[in-house]
A and B are shown apart, each in its own frame.
Chain A
Amino acid sequence: MSGEPRPVVPVIVFPGSNDDRDAQRALELLGAESPRTWHGDESLPARTAAVVLPGGFSYGDYLRCGAIARFSPVMQAVVAFAAEGGLVLGICNGFQILTEAGLLPGALRPNESLSFVCRDVALRVERTGTAFTSRCDEAEELTIPVKHGDGCWFADADLLAELEENGQIALRYAEGANPNGAVANVAGVLNEDGNVFGLMPHPEHAVDELLGSTDGAKILGSFVDAARLSAAVVV
């Protein structure tokens, strides 16, 4: 990677985020420059090429997961950035915040089992060639850990049909591997324009053989590639 430009990919830190450093480390390993950015900031760092909302328990998960974080000052900048086509990735709690902010469709509910699940899950890539899956193969199976109590993605039948038709369901739990009761085994969803993506599994915890899988690097690596391209366009 040395010699290639390092796109600026801030990781937002909310009160209660706890995967921000893991996300930062993974992104930097994959060639990004990832400053941790406080939720109280009203703007994103200079030359921001993409943004990550990390996992954790922002605002103690009070009310509904992500419901309070969406009103953080920095979220206005994130919403404006996304509206201009900026790349935004939400992981776990970040995914919950993006659905609450209306940047991604559906909602995340308590797991069907009511238990917190923390384990590796098998995933199937449903869309390749997106800013988040360009390094994945068609229908590739990935192993990436989940760790959440509220990961049961929900959409009603009409919304689900619309998302399926638009190809917005980019990632599903493999058959029999759904850890939370999510509708249609959905693990990750794109917005309509394809520049915002949220997923419950944690790719930042799967970028090193020591942790059992490097499949997360396929998603984060795709994302850093796309951020580098979009940074090149901006400059």
Chain B
Amino acid sequence: MLVRPKPGILDPQGQAVESSLRHLGFEVGEARVGRLVDVELATEDRTEATAQLERMCEQLLTNPLIESYEIELGAAAAGAEEA
């Protein structure tokens, strides 16, 4: 789950990152800092997984007044095999 500050919301962390990148010589426009939350789910049903993740985002992981979210599903158990 990717959580981002909504457009127009003051993002001082993004501003600090942006200015630091410029100091390093990168020609960047606006930088915004969000949050990545990875969770392992018991279900392998993608529809059910998406529904659960949406509920997580809405109940806890985002504040809808200031943040938006995106959900991305990984392959089932692929992470465990890699590890």
Residues of A within 8 A of B (CB): 63-64, 67-68, 71, 100, 106-107, 109-114, 152, 154-156, 181
Contacts and interface: CB of A to CB of B under 8 A. Distances in A.
Given A63-B60, A67-B60, A110 B12 contact: yes
Nearest to A68: B60
Interface centre among B8, B12, B61, by most chain A C-beta atoms within 10 angstroms, is B12
Given A114-B16, A154-B66, A109 B9 contact: yes
Contacts of B10: 109, 112, 152, 154, 181
Contact of B65 (A110, A111, A154, A181): A154
A112 B9 CA distance: 11
Interface string B41-66: 00000000000000000001101011
28 contacts: A63-B61, A64-B63, A67-B60, A67-B63, A68-B60, A71-B60, A100-B63, A107-B63, A107-B65, A109-B9, A109-B10, A109-B66, A110-B13, A111-B12, A112-B10, A112-B12, A113-B12, A114-B12, A114-B13, A114-B16, A152-B10, A154-B9, A154-B10, A154-B65, A154-B66, A156-B8, A156-B65, A181-B12
A102 B21 CA distance: 37
A106 B65 CA distance: 7
The 7 closest A-B pairs by CB, nearest first: A114-B12, A107-B65, A107-B66, A107-B63, A112-B12, A110-B12, A64-B63
- Interface of B, secondary structure class, is loop
A178 to B, nearest CB: 13
B31 to A, nearest CB: 14
With a 10 A CB-CB cut-off, give which of B9, B10, B16 has the most chain A CB atoms.
B10
A71 B61 CA distance: 13
Given A106-B65, A156-B8, 7 more contacts: A64-B63, A107-B66, A109-B10, A114-B12, A114-B13, A114-B16, A156-B65
Contacts of A155: 65
